[in-house]
Amino acid sequence: MTSVAIGNIRLRQGILGDVWYPGFIAAGTWLLAAIVTDTFPDVSRWGSRDRFVLLLEAGAAILLALGFINNRLGKTGRVIDHYGHWLIALGAIFTLWEVVTAKTGWLPKPFFAPPQALLHAYVDDWQRIGYCILASLQLWTLGFVIGVAAGFVTGVALGWSQLVNYWGMPVLKLIGPVPATAWLPIAFYAFPTTFQGGVFLVALAAGIPVAILTASGVSQVNRAYYDVARTLGAGTSFQILRVAVPASLPHVFVGIFMGLYYSFATLVVAEMLGSKYGLGWYLSWASGYSAYANVYADLLLMAVLCAGIVKLVFTVRDRTLYWQKGII
């Protein structure tokens, strides 16, 4: 009897150990959001309601399946488990969002929109939105790359040369606090097209923090490293490229992250004021027609796009600074 009881206890513990409970709870919250969306009447007419319900039900089914198999998925399962509480919260957020907008009108139309209205904006206007995404990525990528490259070279020169630092750092400190968007009139006057002006503004927003942080990183490199390099016969170029630059890379990436956020905000403002396409232009266009569901859909895309770029830069940083693991 005892051995059987112990065996049953072990069997039950083994079964329970394979279950990922957050998946079941998340499936319940997503299913609740689907029921609320489908069952209760809307105070105003919104598009893509059935599509949104279908997506919620599909998400609940996937989460339910993950509840049974997630603990067997290895590394992927651990990543999903890390975001388990967020998956639960998303279902609750969708439910509350539906209640306060579509079902009760506590947050009234047109200033607020339920989630199915955002989905309808993507479904109904996907071609224009897709083109705006490509236009924004083209402008931002070009400006960001130019700004980071120019800021990096400038920062290395400022940190290495006392003469360059003497003349250049005061100018950089004078320009740095001024928002890049304040240079809009000069950019639109100096460049023949709004695209080129936007590239300049994005490059300016990205380049200044990179230059300042790079200069700080180069100037803080331990002088003993240079002494050792000179003792071994290293020239100036070797000391810069093989000693100063690698040692300052942590500061450089901090500047890149700062420049990323500044440049993305500058991109949106530049597109709102001068471009014919882009996410910033779409935001201004939708606001002009009081299409606030499209505005929120655009804001959500901006957030997701920026978060994805940040994740990509984190990945590049981790791969570039792999040699620092175990040191700092």
Q: Can you say whether the dihedral through the CA atoms of 200, 202, 204, 206 is positive or negative?
A: negative
Alpha carbon 273 to chain centroid distance?
Answer: 23
Give the tokens for residue 172: 């950089």
Domain chopping of the chain, boundaries:
2-123, 126-321
Task: Write down the pLDDT at residue 11.
Answer: 33
Question: Is 317 exposed, middle or buried (CB count within 10 Å of its CB: 0-12, 13-18, 19+)?
Answer: middle
CATH superfamily of 126-321: MetI-like (1.10.3720.10)
CB 214 within 8 A of CB 156: yes
Non-local CB neighbours of 262 within 8 Å, separated by 6+ positions:
180, 205, 206, 208, 209
Task: Write down the pLDDT at residue 17.
Answer: 54
Task: Write down the pLDDT at residue 10.
Answer: 36
- Determine the Cα angle at 168 with ends 199 and 184, to 5°: 30
Task: Write down the pLDDT at residue 142.
Answer: 95
Q: Is 232 helix (H, G, I), strand (E, B) or coil?
A: coil
Per residue of the chain (328 residues), give pLDDT as tens: 333 443 443 333 344 557 899 999 999 999 999 999 999 999 888 888 999 999 999 999 999 999 999 988 889 999 999 999 999 999 999 999 999 999 998 998 888 999 999 999 999 999 999 999 999 999 999 999 999 999 999 999 998 888 998 999 899 888 888 888 888 888 888 888 888 888 999 999 999 999 999 999 888 887 777 777 777 777 778 787 888 888 888 899 999 999 999 998 898 888 887 678 899 999 989 988 888 999 999 999 999 999 999 999 988 888 888 766 655 4
Q: Which H/E stretch holds residue 32?
A: helix 21-39
Q: What are the Cα distances from residue 19, in Å, to 65, 85, 164?
A: 10, 16, 62
Task: Write down the pLDDT at residue 98.
Answer: 94
Task: Write down the pLDDT at residue 269.
Answer: 86
